[in-house]
């Protein structure tokens, strides 16, 4: 069963806020008040999120994106394909990427990846 991050308080329906981020790699802790991003968009880097904002504002026009970003058509397409992949979709944008569980478990067993990386990959999160 898939679990979803809570977006609002189950008691009063106020928007919930994240108060702490923790990096398991270097043990850095960041405290504050952050509105959570959930779903596939929440997985994206700030750069990818900005790309999506421009893309939506340009109503999906790659020609307009060329002007906004000052890059060529193939570059915009490449950026779009990267965002699609980082959201967990295949190039066509509609089929979810199939996770090769056996390969991930083999890599974990061989010590090629850490347990947290394996867990993220099994959840379908793209690793950079």
Please give the Cα distance from 20 to 72 (Å, whole number). Answer: 39
Residue 17 included in any domain? no
Residue 2 included in any domain? no
Domains contained in the chain, number: 1
Domain CATH number, residue 100: 1.10.10
Confidence of residue 54 (pLDDT cuts 50, 70, 90): very high
Confidence of residue 52 (pLDDT cuts 50, 70, 90): very high
Residue 94 included in any domain? yes
Please give the Cα distance from 18 to 7 (Å, whole number). Answer: 10
Residue 20 included in any domain? no
State pTM to two decimals.
0.48
Residue 80 domain boundaries: 39-115
Residue 7 included in any domain? no
Please give the Cα distance from 128 to 76 (Å, whole number). Answer: 20
């Amino acid at each position: 069963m898939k679990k979803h991050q809570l977006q609002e308080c189950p008691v009063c329906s106020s928007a919930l806020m994240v108060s702490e981020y923790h990096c398991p790699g270097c043990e850095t802790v960041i405290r504050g008040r952050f509105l959570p991003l959930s779903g596939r968009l929440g997985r994206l880097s700030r750069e990818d999120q900005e790309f999506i904002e421009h893309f939506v504002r340009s109503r999906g026009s790659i020609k307009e994106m060329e002007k906004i970003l000052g890059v060529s058509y193939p570059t915009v397409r490449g950026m779009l394909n990267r965002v699609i992949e980082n959201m967990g979709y295949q190039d066509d944008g509609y089929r979810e990427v199939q996770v090769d569980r056996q390969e991930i478990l083999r890599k974990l067993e061989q010590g090629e990846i850490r347990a947290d990386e394996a867990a993220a990959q099994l959840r379908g999160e793209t690793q950079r």
